[in-house]
């Protein structure tokens, strides 16, 4: 869990950070779609888990776009060397629990460890809101595979000074010859703007299209 403090005195977003940091709700969100055609084909050819495949790409993209590794702690901004996935996992009784999936650049290693975590969640009850689930060096990720969406909001506790990005995925659908995957991204406006979310979406798309 390595991190370093950002020098706010020389940061070109210092005023933005102070301005949006004073808001009751400093998060903003966008919903978009990505072309899932090549990723879908690779999953079908190799028997991968749909969720874990795009989850791995989503976390890898976040690690490649620095502002997605910024976190606010004690009125300081820290840059983590690496971030991981805190994903909600559904159970057969229609409840869910929080998980913590450590990122690994190698998909097969990531998948192996993630499957163990998924099994652990499914064999327990309750939220599993443990210390791992509360880690700041993570992304809050959820999947809503039952339907497509064009908008989404999140339950928020405004008294808790949160700065962890929240990423949600919907049901992928076919449009013409293209498979489309809806994605929602909510981030702290003091740490980044729409430009940075755009960089993230470009990187996520690039990773979906590349080989493992």
| Contact yes or no for 79/72 (Cβ under 8 A) | no
76-80, strands of its sheet edge to edge: 3-5, 76-80, 70-73
Nearest to 2 by CA among 74, 103, 100, 81: 81
| 119 CB-near residues (< 8 Å, 6+ apart) | none
**Catalytic (active-site) positions:** 189
């Amino acid at each position: 869990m390595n991190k370093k403090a950002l020098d706010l005195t020389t940061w070109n977003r210092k005023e933005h950070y102070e301005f949006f940091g004073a808001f009751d709700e400093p998060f903003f969100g966008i919903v978009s779609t990505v072309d899932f055609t090549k990723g879908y084909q690779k999953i079908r050819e190799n028997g991968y888990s749909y969720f874990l495949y795009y989850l791995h790409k989503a976390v890898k993209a976040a690690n490649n776009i620095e502002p997605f590794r910024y976190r606010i702690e004690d009125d300081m901004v820290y840059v983590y060397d690496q971030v991981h996935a805190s994903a909600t996992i559904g159970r057969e009784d229609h409840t869910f629990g929080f998980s913590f999936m450590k990122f690994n650049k190698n998909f097969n290693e990531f998948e192996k460890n993630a499957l163990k975590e998924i099994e652990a969640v499914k064999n327990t009850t309750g939220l599993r809101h443990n210390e791992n689930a509360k880690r700041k060096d993570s992304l809050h990720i959820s999947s809503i595979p039952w339907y497509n969406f064009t908008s989404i909001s999140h339950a928020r506790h405004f008294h808790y000074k949160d700065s962890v990005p929240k990423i949600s995925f919907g049901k992928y659908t076919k449009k013409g010859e293209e498979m489309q995957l809806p994605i929602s991204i909510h981030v702290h406006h003091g740490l980044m703007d729409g430009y940075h979310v755009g960089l993230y979406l470009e990187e996520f798309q690039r990773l979906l299209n590349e080989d493992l």
